[in-house]
Chains A and B, each alone.
Chain A
Amino acid sequence: MATVYVDNKACEMNPEENLLHGCLSHGFKLPYFCWHPALGSVGACRQCAVKQFKDDKDSQGKIVMSCMTPAAEGTRISIADPEVVAFRAGIIEGLMLNHPHDCPVCDEGGECHLQDMTVMTGHDYRRYEFEKRTFRNQDLGPLVNHEMNRCIQCYRCVRYYRDYAGGRDLNAFASRDQVFFGRSEDGVLENEFSGNLVEICPTGVFTDKTLKHHYARKWDQQFAPSVCVHCALGCNTDAGERYGSLRRIVNRYNHEINGYFLCDRGRFGYEFVNSEARLRQSVLKDRPTSAAAARQYLDQTVANGRVIGIGSPRASLESNFALRTLVGPDHFYSGIADHEAKLVGLMLEILRRGPMRTPTLRDIEESDVVLILGEDLTNVAPRMALSVRQSVRQQPMEAVKKLKVPLWLDHGVRDAMQDARGPLYIATPYRTRLDEVATATFRAAPDDLARFGFAIAHALDSSAPISHETSQDWLMAAAIARALKAAKKPLVISGTSCASEAVIQAAANVAMAANTALSFTAPECNTIGAALMGGNSLSAAFQAVKDGEADTVIILENDLYRRAPQAEVDSMLKAATHVIALDHLPNPTTEKAELLLPAGTFAESDGTFISSEGRVQRFLQVSAPQNEVMASWRWLKPDHWQSLDDVLRAMAKALPELDAACDAAPSSKFRIAGAKIPRSPLRESGRTAALVNINISEPKTPDDPDSALSFSMEGTPDQPPAALIPFFWSPNWNSIQAVNTYQKEVGGPLRGGDAGVRLFEPAPRNGQAYFSAIPRAFSPRQGAWLLVPMYHIFGSDELSLAAPGIRELATKPHVAVNSDEFAEGAEVEVNCAAGTFRLPVMIHREMPVGVAALSVGLSPLVGIQWPTWGKIARAK
C-alpha cells in the first residue's frame, strides 16, 4: 500500500491503481465520466482533475487528471483546492453546453451519473445562450433506446461495446463537437451484451427500451435482490417493481460472478412476468376457483390418490423440496429430461470427486489458456462468453506488465498489446461467436470432439487413455496440450450442449491431466439444484403412471412436452386420473391439468437456485402479489412450515448436502440495529395515492415473514449483506455507479463478501482415475443424419421467449447442415424419433458431414431426446 496525501490527509492506496480509483475507494467525492472500473482510464473527459504537489512545501501545484496518475507512494494531491474546483466546474459547464433540457422526459433522470456529477460540481445555472447541437436518433431494436442529443462524448459506449464486449456495429462517427455514437445505419444492435450500454452510458443516450414502455423512476421502484432465471450461471440481478408490475432488471454487482455486466437475455427476459397470458388464478376443471378451494381439492386428491410428483430444473430448491415432501421421496421424480439427467449426473459426479476446481466467472476472466469442448457459450451461457473474451487478454497482459505499462491505462495497454491474443481453443460441431477471438477451432461430431479431448489428455499425461486408431488431429491436440501445460491459470469448459457423456468425460480427463479448472454449463437456472435434489428419472414417472402404480401426478413448473416426446407425455397425462400443475404461464402441459395453481415467478416468490458453478444463491420476492399467485412451495407446503426458514431447515435435515441453502442469505430474523432492510428507496412517492382509487383507507404494508427485507422505504440506512442488497444508492450517487460505495475497493468484492455459497470445493488429488470409455470415431451414415442440439440466446430459453423484446429477436427454428443437397433457406422435412418437422435449412460449411444441428427449445423442436438420428429430405 502506498501513502497518498489527499488534502493533507494520509490515505493508504493501492499503488497498482490510479488516484481516481484510490480517492473513490476512500469515499472522496471526485466526479468522473470516461473512467470505469472495468474499462480503465483514457483521460478523455478531464472531469476528475486534482491538484498535485511536489512535496509538502509546494504551494503552487499543478492540475493533473487523477485517472491518469498512478497512486504512487508519497503523492500529495488536493481535491478541494479552489483552482481545481473551478477547473472541474468549467469542464462540466463545457460538457453541458449542448445537453438538452430533457431531464423531465428522460428515462435516466433520477439515476443519471451526469446529473450526479453536475450537482457534485455545483454547476447549477446555464450561461450558454446560443444554439445547441442536435442529432437524429437511430432505431437500435426492441431492447435499447437511442437519444443522441444527450451525449457528452465520454466514449464509454464504444469502449465497452467494441473493446470489452467485442461488438462491431457500434462506433463513433463524424468529427469535432459533432461526434456521433451509433451504427452505420438503423438496426438491431448485434452484440448479445448491448443492454449493458444502458448502465455504461453516464447519461440518457442509451436507455432500457423495455422500461420505457412502463416507465417508473428509480426512486419509485420497489426492488429486491434476485438471481437471473434465464440460464444456469446465476448472475445476480436487482428486479424493480411499481404498481404491481415488474418494470426492469438491473445488474447487481457480484465480484465473483457477473461483475458489472449482464447479457441481454438476462436483462430483458423479465417481461414474461408481466405477460397477459400469466396464470393469476387457480383453475379447477377449466373453471376459475378460489385459492382455498384449490388447496382443499389438492389436499383431498393427495390424501385419496396414489400420488407422484414431478419436479423442475427451473423451480427453486424449496419448491422441489416441498413437492418431494408432499409426495414422499420415493414418489418424487426429477423433472429433467432423461438424457440431460444422465449428463448432469455425470457432471456432478466429476465435480464432487475433484480434484478440478469449478471456477467463478471472474476466475474464467483471469484464465490465460482456455479450451472449450463442445459448447457454444454465447448461446448457452452468454455471460460466460463475455468472461472468456476477457481471458484472451491475460497472456498478452504479461508482456504489457514487462513494459511497466500500468494495467489501468487502457490506451497504453492496448497499444502495447496490439492484436495479440492469448490461447483460446474451441472445439464444437458448428461455428460459434467466440471463434473470432479463438487461436484455433476444431469442428467435429460429438464423438470426435470427445476423442479429440481424450487425445489432448493423453498428450498431457501419457497415463491418460487414448484410442489406438490414429487421428489426423493429433498435432493440434498436442499444441493445445503444450499451451495448457505452460499456462498459469488454465481452464477447460464443457457441458451438456453436445448431449454427449463422452465429451464431458474427455473434458474431465483434460482438466485432470493438465490440473486446470473445469467449468460445466447447464441448461437451466436450477438444473444443478434439481439434480442434487435427486428423485427418480422422468421416464420412470411415465412408467409408474402407465403401470397403474400412480393415478395422480403433480407437475411443478414444468412443461413436460419440452422434456420428453409428445406421444409419451400424451399417453401419461391421459392415463393419470388427476393431473395437478403449478406454473407461471400456460403451456401444453398446463392445458391438460385438472387443477392448475398459479405459481409465483422469481419476482413473486422467494427461493434458492444452484448455479452451474455450484453456487447456492437466494432470490427474494420483489412485491407482495395482490392476487392468488404465490410461491410453489407455499402451495405445496405442509401446514407446520410457516416461513422460508422452516422450509430451509427441513430441507437441510432431509438432504444434508443442501444445507448450504440455509447460508445462501441471512435468515428472516436478520436485522441491522433492529431494523429490516427497505425494498424501496427513501423517496418512494405516491404512498397515500397509489391505491386510493380502490379503497380510500390505505392498506397496511404487507409483512414479509420469509426474508429480512420489508415492503417499505423504512428500515436501516446501512449497507445490507451482499445477498440482501435490493438496489445500489448512496447519498450523492443516484446512478448505478453508487456500487463504488458498496465495495471494499472500487472494482473489488462487496463489503462483507459477495453473495452465494459455493458447494463444490476441490478435493485433493488422490488417484482419481481417468475416464477410459473412448467412443469410436464418428462415421456418417448413408441416408441418415446425427442430430445435435443448437442453442440460441434468444429462443432456446423457455421463459424469456414470452418477453416481447426477446421474442422479436428470437431465431427462427431451423436445421443447420453441411450439404450440397439443399439450397440455403429451402424447406426440408426432418424426420426423427420425436416426430417430423418442417424447417428451413441453413448451410454451415464448417460443420462435419453427416451431422445436422437443430434449433433447440423453439417450438416445434421440443421434447427431443438428444442425440438422435434422423432423416432430412426436401419438403414436398
Chain B
Amino acid sequence: MLSILRTIWYVFLHSFQKRITVQYPEQKPYLAPRYRGRIILSRDPDGGERCVACNLCAVACPVGCIALQATEDKNGRRYPEFFRINFSRCIFCGYCEEACPTYAIQLTPDFEIGEFHRKNLVYEKEDLLINGPGKHPGYNFWQIAGVKIGGKDKGEAAHEAAPVDVHTLLP
C-alpha cells in the first residue's frame, strides 16, 4: 500500500521536471554536420563529378550495398557509369566515406528516408549526386593525380614538374 502511494507521489513530482522528449517531426533535433545519414555523391569545385569509380567504397561496405561500374570519358577522366546504393541494406556505418580517396561519397545529416516499398530505397547516381562539394569545399582529386584528363595536361597537376624531354641526355 505504502509503495503504491510512494510511486504515485514520484510520478506526480516528475510532471514538474524539464521534458527531454523532442516533439519530432514538429520539432527537428540538432544533427551535427558529421552525422551519418543519407549518403550523397558530391562534385568538384569546378562542378565535375567527384567520384572516380575506384570501387573503394564498395569494397569497404560491410553489407555490400554499393555497386558501380567505372567508365571513362574521351579525355581519360574516369567516372561511374552507374552508381547504386541499396539503402534498404545500408547500416550507415560511414566506412564508404572513410575509404573514399576523393571525398566524393559523404554521409549527410538526413535520416528521413523511410519508404513503404523497399525498392524505393534503391538510389541510382541521379538520386545521389548533389550540386556542390559537400563537407570538403576545396578538394579536387584530379589536381593531385598524375593522369591526364581534359583540361589538365601532364605536368599541370599540383607539385608536378613539366614533362621530361626524353630526347635529352644532359645531366
Contacts and interface: CB of A to CB of B under 8 A. Distances in A.
Given A137-B148, A215-B70, A690-B84, 14 more contacts: A102-B147, A104-B56, A105-B52, A135-B154, A135-B163, A135-B166, A147-B146, A176-B171, A212-B72, A215-B71, A689-B122, A692-B119, A692-B122, A696-B122
A813 interface: no
Contacts of B40: none
A669 interface: no
A216 B59 CA distance: 12
B162 interface: yes
A73 B171 CA distance: 44
A134 B168 CA distance: 15
Contacts of B69: 214, 216, 242-243
A122 interface: no
Contacts of A243: 69
A102 B146 contact: yes
Interface residues of A, number: 47
A794 interface: no
Given A104-B141, A174-B168, A688-B89, A134 B161 contact: yes
A624 B92 CA distance: 32
A670 interface: no
Contact of B89 (A104, A217, A220, A689): A689
Interface stretch (A12-20, A60-68, A124-132): A124-132
Contacts of B65: 686, 688-689
B86 interface: yes
Contacts of A463: none
Interface of A: 100-105, 109-110, 129-137, 147, 149-150, 173-176, 178, 180, 182, 212, 214-217, 219-220, 242-243, 683-690, 692-693, 696
A686 B154 contact: no
Contacts of A110: 55
Q: Which 9 A-B pairs have the closest CB atoms?
A: A100-B146, A686-B67, A104-B54, A685-B58, A689-B67, A687-B64, A149-B146, A131-B161, A696-B119
Contacts of B119: 692, 696
B122 A693 contact: yes
User: Which bucket holds chain B's interface residue count?
Assistant: 35 or more
Chain B CB count within 10 A is highest, among A173, A216, A690, for A690
A689 B66 contact: yes
B155 interface: yes
A689 B54 contact: no
B41 interface: no
Interface in B52-87: 52-56, 58-59, 61, 63-72, 78, 84-86
Nearest to A130: B159
A693 B59 contact: no
23 contacts: A100-B146, A102-B147, A103-B54, A110-B55, A132-B159, A133-B161, A134-B162, A136-B163, A137-B148, A147-B147, A174-B165, A175-B171, A214-B69, A215-B70, A217-B55, A686-B84, A687-B64, A688-B65, A689-B64, A689-B67, A689-B89, A690-B84, A693-B122
Nearest to B144: A101
B34 interface: no
B135 interface: no
B32 interface: no
B88 interface: yes
B98 interface: no
Interface in B133-170: 141, 144-148, 154-155, 159-169
Contacts of B161: 131-134
A174 B63 contact: no
A111 B143 CA distance: 25
Interface in B20-53: 52-53
Contacts of A134: 146, 154-155, 160-164
Contacts of A687: 64
Contacts of B70: 215-216
A685 B145 contact: no
Given A104-B101, A176-B171, A696-B88, A690 B67 contact: yes
Nearest to A687: B64
B145 A100 contact: yes
B124 interface: yes
Contacts of B145: 100-102, 104-105
Contacts of A182: 166
Given A100-B145, A688-B65, A683 B160 contact: no
A692 B84 contact: yes
Contacts of B146: 100-102, 132, 134, 147, 149-150
B66 to A, nearest CB: 6
B147 A133 contact: no
A176 to B, nearest CB: 7
B106 interface: no
A688 B64 contact: yes
A682 to B, nearest CB: 10
Given A100-B147, A132-B161, A688 B86 contact: yes
Given A178-B164, A696-B122, A685 B159 contact: no
B151 to A, nearest CB: 15
A555 to B, nearest CB: 37
B61 A685 contact: yes
Interface in B93-130: 101-102, 118-119, 122, 124
B78 A105 contact: yes
Given A220-B59, A686-B68, A688-B63, A174 B54 contact: no
Contact of A131 (B55, B118, B141, B160): B160
Contact of A173 (B52, B72, B166, B171): B166
A333 B20 CA distance: 86
B1 to A, nearest CB: 57
A182 B163 CA distance: 15
B59 A219 contact: yes
Nearest to A131: B161
A149 B147 CA distance: 8
B103 to A, nearest CB: 11
A689 B55 contact: no
A214 B165 CA distance: 33
B139 to A, nearest CB: 12
Nearest to B143: A101
B98 to A, nearest CB: 14
Nearest to B121: A696
Contacts of B171: 175-176
B159 A692 contact: no
Contacts of B160: 131-132, 134
Contacts of B148: 137
Contact of A104 (B66, B86, B102, B166): B102
In this complex, the member of B61, B84, B86, B163 whose beta carbon has the largest number of chain A beta carbons within 10 angstroms is B86
Which one of A134, A173, A176, A696 has the highest number of Cβ atoms from chain B below 10 Å of its Cβ?
A134
Contacts of B68: 686
- Most chain A CB inside 10 Å of its own CB: which residue of B56, B147, B148: B147
Given A689-B67, A693-B124, A174 B55 contact: no
A217 B59 contact: yes
Contacts of A178: 164, 166
A739 B24 CA distance: 58
A174 B164 CA distance: 9
A696 B124 CA distance: 13
Contacts of A176: 171
Contacts of A147: 146-147
A128 to B, nearest CB: 9
Contacts of B154: 134-137, 149
Nearest to A684: B64
B166 A689 contact: no
Contacts of A219: 55, 59
A214 to B, nearest CB: 8
Contacts of A690: 67, 84
A180 B89 CA distance: 48
Contacts of B124: 693
B58 A131 contact: no
A217 B64 CA distance: 15
B86 A689 contact: yes
